[in-house]
Amino acid sequence: MSASGVYYGASVSKAQPARLDVVGGCPRLKIDDGTERNVVIASVSERIAGVPRRITLDDGGAFLAENAAEADALLLELGHVQGERIHRFESVGRRWAVVAVILIVAAAVSLRWVVPALAEAAIVLVPYPAEQRIGYRAYASATSLIFEESKISEERFRQVMNLADELLLVGEPEHRIQVVIHDSPKLGANALAFPGGPIVLTDALIELAPDDDALRGVIAHEIAHVERRHSMKRLLRMTGWAVIAGAVFGDASSLIEEVIAVPSILVDFAYSRAFEAEADARAVELMRLAGADPEAFARFLHLLTEKCGEYCDKTNWLSTHPGTADRVQALKLM
Amino acid sequence: MTYMVDFVQRMEGAGEGGESATAFRQIEFRGDTKQYFGIWIVNLILTLVTLGVWSAWAKVRKTRYLYGNTRLDGHSFDYLAKGWTLLKGRLIVVALIGLYALAGLLSPYAQIAMALLFLPLYPWIINRSLSFSGRMTVYRNIRFHWSGTYWGTFKVTILWPLAAASTLWGLLPMATRASQLYFIRNYSYGTARFSAEAALGAYYRAFLMALMLGFGLSMAIMFVAVAGMGVVAAVFPLSGGGGQVAAEGGFSPTMTGGILAGVAGVYLVSILAFLFVSSFYHALTRNETIAGAALEGGFRFKSTLSGFRLAWISLSNLVAILFTLGMATPWATIRLWRYLCDNFWVAMGPDSASFVDKQVAAGSAFGEEFADIEGFEFGL
């Protein structure tokens, strides 16, 4: 078997048309100007569509085969069979491409379940002190931006802290969770839980609560978030998506990574609804243990959302909390 | 085959060609999306299955496909790197990033200290990367060699960007020129050096045009955004009605969602606009630098990119990739590469058969081979 192509001597750019033959089981180089000699092959490049096969000789020269089929036959005869497998997969016809696309889309869809599952598994690797530090650091930066010193009376302050301590005791959490109260004009009536704590209650929330049981409900809900490490899991999930998006989109285009960040965050919102439902369930459990009335919590949720009119009752893909009607319904069933 | 033989013979008979030997020849790209799709899909599947380890080999296959199907004067380029080498380099980088992240877990100060420690490494890493990718690129059996110095690279990758940023981008054209000229002047093809000359004025012209384009785009976007918000407000009135006990400015879940969507939208559009304008600027400056480049032996170059066309290609590529969940990536890659090739011209010197490559000493004193790092680059 013989392959035609171009021969370059070591380190020179002069291209000499030549042929590579197999003579007596050995490769023999026959340059078109008449010279010929036996050569020793040092390495062979892998086959890739459209790229001349590069056969490097041990004297530093190189033979570039123009015809891929000829090169394959020649190398086969010499016993060089590597470098073929991947090309065979890459060059399958149109039907295979369709199958591949379907597989990829299926894989993309399965990510919806795979990444959260991986995050659940990976959380074991995050030590609680590390999570607490992350949460505390986030809280520290948030303090300068949106939290101000609480303006409620000292008596009320102590009352609320007692409520919180009660719930913390009853739940028997593994780690100490800090509860703090801040005034936050930007957040309004709200409650936040940072990874590993602290739990932040706003003045407006405490004022708005019609009774203590309602407040217990919210605090219990936030405690559940910290107990179940929801925020940390969300961080892991978003990292997971970012990594996979990086692998898929990779260096496809400039600034693609920045653009990918946006849908990654939006996709995560869907999962938060599951976490909210989980937190609600645990909150009801804690309230019952503390002898409080879970209905008060449902009523309070309803009250909280009166400000946004009808839109809160419908679950939409942008909200991190399922619509109140859903939650109230779910709470009633518990 | 005979086509190639003709060319080779014409090159050998130097000087007799006359006109044809000095005319600008276009770089030819013979690849197509269909072929590349197969390569891309297999790369993707293997990369995901190996949790990213295969990405090194994937990069090699992709680069070899693009280079190998790119031809100048009938001869193709090639990329000789091996997957293992790339993987080693990437592991080093991952280790460094890991150290940086771990420092962050200790304290923000530790992280800053680590960043300052790594800063001097950066120019060195870039030099290694440019040297590696040059050496691995071969045309007619001759490799490209990078000869940039530590301080030269330090100036171009750290000092110039700082200078540009601190003067509100007033010095950006100077920085662009300095960086692109440095890049060309420190490469050689075998033993033949590249050279480059370019007047500063053209870079400022490109910058001003890009600024005007950016300004025009911002106006258009703001107009559309305001009009859009008006429409949205009319269709979805937020009931701000009475009976609210909570402090004003309180966030309800849906309002937060709506605002988040707005912020996301603005962020997205800004990125797209920035991509458009920077591609435009890049095309113009690249044209200028390449026009002033030359290679020992009488070779000259020309770039005929259209600012608008490159900007449009970059933008539509990005949008297409997003909307097809990445499936359009191979098409986008080929499209951009082809456009760059179609607009790159080389005027061949009288004798392209007499180049000689640098002899790379085996086992060099500084252990070059162990620290072959790819991926950190700047340039055209």
At A196, phi and psi to the nearest 5?
75, 10
Contacts of B87 (CB under 8 A, 6+ apart): B53, B56, B57
A111-115, B32-36, B71-75, B289-293: which range is least confident on average? A111-115
- Which pLDDT belongs to residue B246? 30
User: SS in 3 state form for B305-364?
Assistant: CCHHHHHHHHHHHHHHHHHCCCCCHHHHHHHHHHHHHHCEEEECCCCCCCCECCCCCCCC
Could you report the per-residue pLDDT of A16-47, keeping only the tens digit for each? 999 999 888 888 999 988 899 998 888 899 99
Tokens of B297: 């032996």
Tell me how close the Cα of A83 comes to any Cα of chain B, in angstroms: 11
What integer pLDDT is reported at residue B110 of this predicted model? 82
Judged by CB atoms closer than 8 Å, whether chains meet at B253 and A12 is answered as no
Find where tokens 């909210």 sit: A276
pLDDT at residue number A311: 46
Residue A270 confidence (pLDDT): 62
Which pLDDT score is estimated for B253?
A: 46
pLDDT number for residue A316: 41
Q: Inform me whether the C-beta atom of residue A60 falls under 8 Å from chain B C-beta atoms.
A: no
* The two three-digit tokens of residue A108, written as one number: 């993309």
- Look at residue B301 in the predicted model and tell me its pLDDT: 95
Q: Per-residue confidence at B156, pLDDT binned at 50, 70, 90?
A: very high
Tell which phi-psi region holds residue A199, choosing left (phi > 0), alpha (psi between -120 and 50) or beta: beta
Question: Is B106 touching A (CB cutoff 8 A)?
Answer: no
Has residue B20 got a pLDDT over 70?
no
Residue A331 or B323, more confident: B323
What is the C-alpha R_g of chain B? Answer: 25
pLDDT at residue B359 in the model = 64
Assess whether pLDDT exceeds 70 at residue B233: no
**pLDDT confidence bin for A117, thresholds 50/70/90:** confident
CA distances in angstroms from B313 to A95, A246, A259, B277, B337, listed in the order given: 29, 21, 17, 12, 11
Higher pLDDT, B109 or A63: A63
Residues A136, A141, A142: CA angle, nearest 5 degrees: 90
Contact A208 B245 (CB under 8 A): yes
The pLDDT-based confidence of A175 (bands split at 50, 70, 90) is: confident
User: Cβ of A104 and B257 within 8 Å?
Assistant: no
A232 chain-B contacts, CB cut-off 8 A: none
Q: Tell me the count of A-B CB pairs closer than 8 A.
A: 235
Q: Which residue has the higher pLDDT, A203 or B22?
A: A203
**Does the beta-carbon distance from A45 to B78 stay under 8 Å?**
yes
B147: pLDDT strictly greater than 50 = yes
Dihedral angle, C-alpha A168, A174, A176, A182, nearest 10 °: -60
In the structure, what pLDDT confidence band is assigned to residue B16 with cuts at 50, 70 and 90? very low
Q: Is the pLDDT of residue A312 over 70?
A: no
pLDDT of residue A120: 86
Distance of alpha carbon A231 from alpha carbon A237, whole angstroms: 10
Give the H or E element holding residue A296: helix A294-304
Picking from A2, A6, A13 by the largest number of B CB atoms within 10 A of its own CB, the best residue to mutate is A13
Share of chain B above pLDDT 70, in %: 82
Which pLDDT belongs to residue A79?
80
d(Cα A12, Cα B296) in Å, to the nearest integer? 15
Average pLDDT over residues B333-355: 91
Please report the residues numbered 142 through 201 in chain A whose beta carbons come closer than 8 angstroms to any beta carbon of chain B: 185-190
For residue B157, what are the β-bridge partners? Answer: none
Give Dmax (Cα) for chain B: 94
Convert the pLDDT of each residue in B244-255 to its tens digit. 323 333 334 445
- Is pLDDT at A101 greater than 80 in this prediction? no
> What are φ and ψ of residue A184, in 5° steps?
-145, 90
Measure A14 CA to nearest chain B CA, in Å.
4
Burial B292-304 (b: 16+ CB within 10 A, else e): bbbbebebbbebe
Which tokens go with B93? 């980088």
Q: With pLDDT > 90 as the criterion, what percentage of chain B qualifies?
A: 48
Average pLDDT over residues B130-143: 92
CA–CA separation, B376 and B121 (whole Å): 12
Which percentage of chain A shows pLDDT scores above 70?
A: 85
Give contacts of A186 with chain B, Cβ < 8 Å.
249, 251
Task: Name which residue leads in pLDDT, B201 or B47.
Answer: B201
pLDDT higher than threshold 50 for residue A87? yes
| B333 confidence band (pLDDT: 50, 70, 90) | very high
Better-predicted residue by pLDDT, A166 or B236? A166
Q: Is the pLDDT of residue B99 over 80?
A: yes
Beta bridge partners of B70: B29
